[in-house]
């Protein structure tokens, strides 16, 4: 698997990306040759059209990734996938028009763009139909054996079963108790004990062993596992495979040594400085873009209910320092969370009509750009906690204090992948996404999260 922009790409995903790159490039190039006249020299010597074609193809592939066309559910042609293909092509066309305005030498003729809007959807749809109906079974699937039968093992199995296109088939679990042989956990059964590892691997043709044990001391048959590895069988710990599949880090049975000695959880000072410069620039541009909201929203808030326009609340920032967060008020003043410290709920009766719209579009968080300029927050980071919820969750959720190693963000990986939390259990699941972000922090990942946030705002998803 290849890690890219917060996602691990399987072999099948890499194949889809590679073929799409070739198809998009060739389609645009052939359309250019038809429109301008066939000239084979374009294929063998430098020509500006090759540069233009490459740039157009890169923008289209980026937009296809943005619309999740490289997630396993998008490999099979369906009306929803076809709609995503059209949306990605329209978005790419819009981006290219902006590029053409600022860099005219990149410009191509309108005839090529119009032909591209017609030809590309047909080509990409045809490829996905061919792949899903004729080729998907040609790529060998990995046969997975999970060593362990606890909560982490079951979560991994559910993740694999939900993502069939990962190319993984679970042949079963191993358990220390021989009396549980044949017991069904998630659908696959317990097929043996730890001592049966070598026999099961040989008999079932296992390609990968996932070790998901709560306590590995004196339990793992290391010599047998080493023999399996020497035979070319992949060995992987449960935390790593769960992270790859689910995009979050499991708190169940999470070992400190995995975080300390593994990759990630390393923040360079240079990156943090560049992130700060980027935050200030984005905040200034954002305040300019949302200036109409700052003019209209206060009037609507005042008309919807009595009280101040802005909601101010003490939140916890980087290093546990307190700061005052600013948002547009979305609830009736007497019932604001600052007074009651209640969990957010679906269809909360404290929310006004205007507040519900502001929350669903995330426009209520626009004033937090002021917090970013002041240095209290970042554009991307974990959601800022209130002290009450910190006290409620820190004693019950492992490694909860790690979220304060970065500045809290207006948006973040947890914000786009999860929802507002309304219980300690949901807080723990959200924290798994925050840990994933902290572990895999990069400026490119931040940029990707910002783009996905725009998509979430347009879909009005995830708010309470």
Same domain flag for 414 and 276 = yes
pLDDT digits (tens, 9 = 90+) for 294-337: 999 999 999 888 889 999 999 999 999 999 999 999 888 754 44
* Threshold 0.75, pTM exceeds: no
Mean pLDDT of 104-112: 79
Residue 380 half-sphere exposure toward CB, CA atoms < 13 A: 26
3-state class of 425 per DSSP? helix
Residue 344 confidence class, pLDDT cut points 50, 70, 90? low
Q: Specify whether 227 is located in the same domain as 314.
A: no
**181 occurs within a structural domain:** yes
Residue 296: helix, strand or coil by DSSP? helix
Helices (H), 103-234: 110-130, 151-162, 197-204, 222-230
Backbone phi, then psi, for 97, in 5-degree steps?
-60, -40
- Residues with Cβ within 8 Å of residue 81, at least 6 apart in sequence: 69, 74, 125, 128
pLDDT in tens, 127-167: 888 887 777 655 557 889 999 888 889 989 988 887 766 67
Look at residue 451 and give its three-state secondary structure. Answer: helix
184 three-state secondary structure: strand
Q: How many domains does the chain have?
A: 3
pLDDT value of position 336: 47
What confidence score (pLDDT) does residue 339 get? 46
CATH number of the structural domain spanning residue 175: 3.40.50.720
Residues 183 and 113 in one domain: no
Task: Please report whether residue 262 resides in a domain.
Answer: no
Asked, for residue 35, whether it belongs to a domain, the answer is yes
For 430, the enclosing helix (H) or strand (E) is helix 424-439
Q: How far is CA 340 from the centre of its chain?
A: 33
Last residue of a domain, one of 135, 168, 191: 135
163 lies in the same domain as 230: yes
* 28-46 pLDDT tens trace: 888 877 776 666 555 554 4
125 plus 10 within the same structural domain = yes
Separation between Cα atoms, residue 168 and residue 165, nearest integer Å: 8
Residues 208 and 343 grouped into a single domain: no
- Give how far Cα 15 sits from Cα of 2, 12, 20, 77, 448, Å: 12, 5, 8, 16, 22
In a domain, 255, yes or no: no
Residue ranges making up the domain that contains 166? 142-246
**Which domain-ending residue is among 135, 163, 192?**
135
* Together in a domain, 322 and 454: yes
> Checking phi first, is residue 47 left (phi over 0); if not, alpha (psi -120 to 50) or beta?
beta
Does 256 reside within a domain? Answer: no
Domain assignment present for residue 454? The answer is yes
Q: What is the pLDDT of residue 434?
A: 92
Same domain, 131 and 146: no
Say yes or no: 115 and 180 in one domain.
Answer: no
The residues, ordered by sequence, that sit 6+ positions from 417 with a Cβ below 8 Å of its Cβ are 247, 248, 433
Beta strands in 298-391 (DSSP E): 310-316, 322-328, 378-380
DSSP-H helix ranges across 163-268: 197-204, 222-230, 238-246, 256-261
Report if residue 259 sits inside a domain. Answer: no
- pLDDT, residue 324, reads 95
Say whether both 200 and 97 belong to one domain: no
Is the residue at 117 inside a domain?
yes
Element housing 194 (H / E): none
Residues 423 and 356 in one domain: yes
Query: Tokens 């974990």 belong to which residue?
Result: 382
Q: Does the pLDDT of residue 83 top 60, yes or no?
A: yes
> Would the pLDDT of 436 be above 80?
yes
290 and 206 co-located in one domain:
no
Domain end residue (candidates: 118, 135, 152): 135
pLDDT tens figures, 192-243: 988 899 899 999 989 899 998 876 665 678 888 888 888 888 888 888 888 8
Backbone conformation region of residue 218, classed left if phi is above 0, alpha if psi is from -120 to 50, else beta: left
């Amino acid at each position: 698997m290849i890690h890219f922009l917060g996602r691990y790409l399987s072999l099948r995903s890499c194949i889809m990306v590679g073929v799409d790159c070739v198809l998009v490039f060739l389609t645009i190039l052939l359309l250019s040759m038809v429109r301008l006249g066939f000239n084979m020299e374009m294929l063998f010597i430098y020509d500006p059209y090759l540069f233009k074609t490459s740039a157009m193809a890169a923008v289209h592939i980026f937009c296809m990734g943005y619309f999740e066309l490289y997630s396993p559910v998008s490999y099979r042609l369906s009306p929803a996938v076809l709609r995503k293909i059209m949306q990605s092509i329209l978005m790419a066309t819009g981006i290219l028009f902006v590029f053409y305005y600022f860099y005219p030498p990149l410009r191509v003729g309108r005839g090529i763009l119009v032909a591209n809007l017609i030809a590309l959807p047909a080509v990409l749809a045809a490829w996905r139909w061919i792949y899903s109906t004729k080729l998907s079974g040609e790529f060998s699937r990995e046969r997975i054996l999970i060593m362990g039968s606890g909560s982490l093992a079951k979560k991994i199995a559910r993740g694999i079963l939900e993502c069939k296109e990962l190319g993984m088939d679970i042949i079963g679990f191993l358990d220390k108790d021989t009396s549980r042989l044949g017991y069904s956990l998630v659908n696959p059964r317990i097929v043996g004990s730890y001592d049966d590892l070598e026999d099961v691997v040989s008999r079932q043709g296992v390609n990968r062993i996932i070790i998901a044990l709560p306590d590995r001391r004196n339990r793992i048959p290391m010599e047998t596992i080493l023999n399996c590895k020497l035979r070319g069988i992949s060995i992987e710990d449960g935390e790593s495979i769960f992270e790859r599949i689910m995009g979050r880090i499991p708190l169940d049975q999470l070992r400190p040594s995995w975080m300390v000695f593994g990759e990630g959880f390393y923040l360079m000072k240079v990156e943090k400085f560049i992130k700060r410069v980027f935050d200030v620039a984005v905040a200034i541009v954002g305040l300019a873009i949302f200036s109409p909201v700052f003019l209209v929203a206060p009037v609507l808030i005042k008309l919807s209910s009595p009280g101040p326009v802005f909601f101010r609340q003490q939140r916890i920032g980087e290093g546990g320092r307190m700061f005052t967060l600013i948002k547009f008020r979305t609830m009736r003043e007497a019932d604001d969370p600052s007074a009651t410290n209640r969990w957010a709920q679906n269809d909360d009766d404290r929310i006004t009509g205007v507040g519900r719209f502001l929350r669903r579009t995330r426009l209520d968080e626009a004033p937090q750009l002021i917090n970013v300029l002041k240095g209290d927050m970042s554009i991307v980071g974990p959601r800022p906690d209130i002290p009450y919820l910190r006290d409620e969750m820190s004693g019950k959720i492992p490694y909860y204090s790690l979220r304060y190693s970065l500045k809290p963000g207006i948006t973040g990986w947890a914000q786009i992948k999860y929802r507002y939390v309304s219980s300690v259990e949901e807080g723990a699941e959200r924290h798994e996404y925050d840990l994933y972000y902290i572990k895999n922090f990069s400026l490119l990942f931040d940029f990707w999260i910002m783009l996905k946030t725009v998509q979430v705002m347009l879909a009005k998803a995830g708010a309470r």
